[in-house]
C-alpha cells in the first residue's frame, strides 16, 4: 500500500518543481523528502523523478501518480471533513488568512467572536495578498481566507476552491484637503490630472487594478510612490504629494489633511471568502458564519 506521506512528498515536488521547495512546504528536510520518494519508487516499481541540471523533473509515471495522489489527498480531506461534520461541537484548529485591509478591520472581530462562541476552537491568522493566499488555500495551509477581486479585472480561479462573494467594498479617491476637487460630492477620475498617484508596488493586485481603472477612465497614471499600505499612502496624500484610490475597509485612520471623495462611475472591489471544495468542516462553517455576519453589519452601517 502506498504511504500518504510519500504521496504528499511527490505532490509537493510536482507543485513546487524541486525537492528543496517541497521540503520547505512540508516543513521537513530535503533528505527527508528524497527518502520518501525513494521508498515510493520502490513501492511502485518505476522511476518517478529524473535529474535535470540542478533540479528534478517528474517522469510520465511520476506525473500520473502525482495527479492521482492529489485526488487521493482531496478525497481523504473530504472524508475527514464529513466525519467532523457528524460532531456538532466546533473544535480543533482553524487557520484564517486575509488581505491586509480586511484582516485589520474584520478578522480581529471574527476571532474574538469565534473564541466566545466556540471555546474549544483554536484560531490562527496570517495576513497576505491574494496572489499568495489562494495557493495557500489550495495547499491546505489555510482553511478559510478573505481575498480581493475586481469584476473589471477577472482572475483565473483554481478548480480546487470555492469562492463566495461576501462584501462589496466601495473605493474612493483620496485628495489633499486643499485640492480644488476635495469638497465636491463626487468626482470623475479624468478630472484628477494635476497629481501623481501613490499605490501598492508594481505587480501587486491593487497596483494592477489602479492602472487598469485609470486608463479605462482616460487617465494615463504617473505613479511616483509605491507604498504597500493604505495608511502610509494617505500620508503622501496629506502632504499634497499624490492622489490615491482607497477602499472604505482600509479607512482605519484618515489624516485631517485628506479628503475622501466618491467616484463616478462608482468604483468597488469585491471581497470573497475562499476555502477548498473538500474542506467544509464545522470550524470552517463557523468561521464563514461569523465573517458573513460582520460584513452584513458593515454593509448596513452609514457610509459603507
Same domain? For 231 and 292 the reply is: no
| Angle formed at CA 140 by CA 22 and CA 13, multiple of 5 degrees | 20
Residue at which a domain ends, from 85, 101, 133: 85
As a whole number of angstroms, the distance between CA 240 and CA 175 comes to 8
Nearest to 274 by CA among 161, 166, 135, 167: 161
What is the pTM assigned to this prediction? Answer: 0.72
Same domain? For 176 and 256 the reply is: yes
- For residue 183, give the 3-state DSSP assignment: coil
Same domain? For 194 and 244 the reply is: yes
C-alpha cell at 16: 513546487
Same domain? For 292 and 152 the reply is: yes
pLDDT in tens, 111-158: 999 999 999 999 999 999 888 999 999 989 999 999 999 888 877 788
Residue at which a domain ends, from 35, 62, 85: 85
Number of domains in the chain: 3
Same domain? For 149 and 285 the reply is: yes
CATH of residue 131 = 3.40.190.10
Q: 264, 171 in Cβ contact below 8 A?
A: no
Helix axes 282-300, 107-117, angle to 10 degrees: 130
In the chain, count H helices and then E strands.
Answer: 10, 11
Same domain? For 252 and 110 the reply is: no
Same domain? For 176 and 259 the reply is: yes
Q: 262, 193 in Cβ contact below 8 A?
A: no
Same domain? For 206 and 242 the reply is: yes
- In tens digits, the chain (304 residues) has pLDDT values of 567 788 788 778 888 888 888 888 777 888 888 888 788 878 888 888 888 777 788 888 878 888 887 877 777 777 766 665 555 578 889 999 999 888 888 999 999 999 999 999 999 999 998 889 999 999 899 999 999 998 888 777 888 899 999 999 999 999 999 999 999 999 999 999 999 999 999 988 899 999 999 999 988 889 999 998 999 999 999 999 999 999 999 888 899 999 999 999 999 999 999 999 989 889 999 999 999 999 999 998 887 7
CATH of residue 197 = 3.40.190.290
Same domain? For 264 and 278 the reply is: no
As a whole number of angstroms, the distance between CA 213 and CA 216 comes to 5
Domain span including residue 207: 168-268
C-alpha cell at 288: 464563514
Residue at which a domain ends, from 85, 107, 139: 85
Share of the chain above pLDDT 90, in %: 55
Cβ within 8 Å of residue 98, ≥6 positions away = 106, 107, 125, 127, 128, 133, 145, 146, 147
Same domain? For 144 and 283 the reply is: yes
Amino acid at each position: 500500500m502506498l504511504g500518504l506521506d510519500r504521496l504528499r512528498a511527490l505532490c509537493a515536488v510536482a507543485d513546487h518543481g524541486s525537492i528543496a521547495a517541497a521540503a520547505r512546504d512540508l516543513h521537513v528536510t530535503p533528505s527527508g523528502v528524497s527518502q520518501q520518494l525513494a521508498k515510493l519508487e520502490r513501492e511502485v516499481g518505476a522511476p518517478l523523478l529524473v535529474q535535470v541540471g540542478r533540479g528534478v523533473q517528474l517522469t510520465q509515471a511520476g506525473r500520473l501518480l502525482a495527479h492521482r495522489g492529489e485526488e487521493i489527498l482531496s478525497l481523504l480531506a473530504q472524508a475527514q471533513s464529513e466525519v467532523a461534520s457528524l460532531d456538532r461541537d466546533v473544535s480543533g484548529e482553524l487557520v484564517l488568512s486575509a488581505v491586509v485591509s480586511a484582516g485589520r478591520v474584520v478578522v480581529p472581530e471574527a476571532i474574538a467572536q469565534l473564541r466566545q462562541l466556540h471555546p474549544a476552537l483554536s484560531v490562527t491568522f496570517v495576513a497576505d495578498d491574494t496572489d499568495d493566499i489562494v495557493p495557500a488555500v489550495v495547499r491546505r495551509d489555510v482553511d478559510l481566507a478573505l481575498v480581493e477581486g475586481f469584476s473589471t479585472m477577472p482572475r483565473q480561479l483554481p478548480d480546487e476552491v470555492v469562492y463566495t462573494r461576501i462584501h462589496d467594498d466601495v473605493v474612493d479617491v483620496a485628495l489633499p484637503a486643499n485640492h480644488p476637487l476635495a469638497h465636491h460630492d463626487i468626482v470623475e477620475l479624468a478630472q484628477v490630472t494635476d497629481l501623481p498617484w501613490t499605490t501598492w508596488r508594481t505587480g501587486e493586485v491593487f497596483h494592477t487594478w489602479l492602472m487598469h481603472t485609470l486608463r479605462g477612465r482616460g487617465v494615463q497614471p504617473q505613479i511616483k510612490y509605491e507604498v504597500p499600505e493604505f495608511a502610509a499612502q494617505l500620508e503622501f496624500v496629506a502632504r499634497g504629494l499624490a492622489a490615491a484610490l482607497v477602499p472604505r475597509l482600509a479607512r482605519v485612520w484618515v489624516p485631517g489633511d485628506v479628503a475622501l471623495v466618491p467616484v463616478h462611475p462608482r468604483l468597488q472591489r469585491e471581497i470573497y471568502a475562499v476555502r477548498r471544495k473538500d474542506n467544509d468542516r464545522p470550524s470552517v462553517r463557523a468561521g464563514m458564519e461569523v465573517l458573513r455576519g460582520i460584513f452584513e453589519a458593515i454593509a448596513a452601517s452609514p457610509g459603507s
